[in-house]
């Protein structure tokens, strides 16, 4: 379908966390941290601003966003972005981490960069899961379009759809 795909491994590393903690609740959790690659910072800022535009306040207090030289592939195809979240006893453990495939990012258009970052922040900031449904919607061109109902669809949204239906996708993301 699309040449590239976005996949996410929401890792539930309970046993690892248990190992790290020694299952001793007296040990402190790792401190929250924010570390964002300067090239990717504008997309994080836009995510926060888009949320504010529909009345949702988002404070980025615990997030790592960085490039990976090559994320490889999985069963869905080429992986261009990834979000890793670890949980311990139902709570987020450590710092949610987004990895963006650098060759993809450098070789694609601005709307695809935007939607991949948006998708991964949907996982790593809002803790959203994938959404697989489609909907029919009229665009500003007065034509009915069939589009993925969310940027949380597990593939890269077509740039033309992301652009034409930007307002819809913003409200869907932060509803
Ligand atoms: Zn995903």
Quick one: average pLDDT of 19-46?
81
Q: What is the mean predicted confidence (pLDDT) over 135-149?
A: 95
pLDDT given for residue 25 in this prediction: 56
Supply the pLDDT for residue 87.
92
Place of tokens 């690892």: 16
CA of 148 to the centre of ligand 1 (A): 13
Question: Quick one: pLDDT at residue 1?
Answer: 30
Q: Which residues pair with 98 in a beta bridge?
A: 65, 83
Residue 70: predicted pLDDT: 80
Q: Which of 9-13, 16-20, 131-135 has the lowest mean pLDDT?
A: 9-13
Strands 81-88 and 91-101: antiparallel
Q: What is the 122 CA–ligand 1 centroid distance (Å)?
A: 8
Bigger pLDDT: 20 or 117?
A: 117
Ligand 1 mean position, distance from CA 7 (Å): 5
In this prediction, residue 14 carries a pLDDT of: 42
State in Å: Cα 110 to ligand 1 middle.
19
pTM of the model: 0.82
Q: Which of 163, 72, 77 is nearest to 113 (CA)?
A: 163
> Is residue 5 predicted with pLDDT exceeding 70?
no
* Contact partners, residue 165, CB within 8 Å, separation at least 6: 137, 139, 145, 147
Of the pLDDT bands very low, low, confident and very high (cuts 50, 70, 90), residue 30 is confident
Cα of 130 from ligand 1 centre, angstroms: 6
* DSSP classification of residue 157: P
**How far is Cα of residue 78 from the mean position of the Cα atoms in its chain?**
16
Distance 137 CA to ligand 1 centre (A): 23
Distance 97 CA to ligand 1 centre (A): 13
Ligand 1: centre distance to CA 158 (Å): 15
pLDDT tens by residue, 51-76:
999 999 999 999 999 999 888 776 55
Per-residue pLDDT, 75: 59
The structural domains of the chain, ordered by start, are 34-173 (3.40.390)
Average pLDDT, the chain: 86
Cα dist from 119 to 5, 21, 59, 60, 142, whole Å? 11, 31, 17, 16, 27
**35 CB neighbour count, 10 Å cutoff:** 10
pLDDT at residue 15 greater than cutoff 60:
no
Instruction: pLDDT band for 108, please (50, 70, 90 cuts).
Output: very high
State yes or no: pLDDT of 13 exceeds 60. no
Question: What distance in angstroms lies between residue 27's CA and the mean position of ligand 1's atoms?
Answer: 32
Q: Name the token pair of 131.
A: 């959404």
């Amino acid at each position: 379908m699309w040449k590239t795909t976005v996949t996410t491994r929401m890792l539930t590393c309970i046993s690892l966390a248990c190992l790290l903690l020694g299952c001793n609740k007296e040990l402190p959790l790792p401190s929250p941290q924010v570390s964002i690659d300067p090239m990717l910072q504008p997309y994080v800022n836009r995510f926060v601003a888009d949320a504010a535009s529909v009345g949702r306040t988002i404070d980025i207090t615990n997030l790592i966003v960085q490039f990976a030289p090559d994320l490889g592939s999985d069963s869905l195809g080429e992986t261009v972005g990834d979000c890793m979240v670890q949980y311990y006893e139902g709570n987020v453990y450590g710092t949610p981490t987004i990895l963006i495939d650098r060759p993809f990012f450098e070789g694609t258009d601005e709307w695809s960069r935007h939607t991949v970052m948006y998708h991964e922040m949907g996982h790593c900031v809002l803790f959203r899961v994938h959404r697989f449904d489609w909907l029919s919607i009229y665009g500003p061109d007065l034509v009915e379009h069939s589009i993925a109902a969310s940027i949380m669809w597990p593939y890269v949204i077509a740039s033309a759809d992301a652009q034409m239906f930007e307002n819809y996708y913003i409200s869907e993301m932060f509803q």
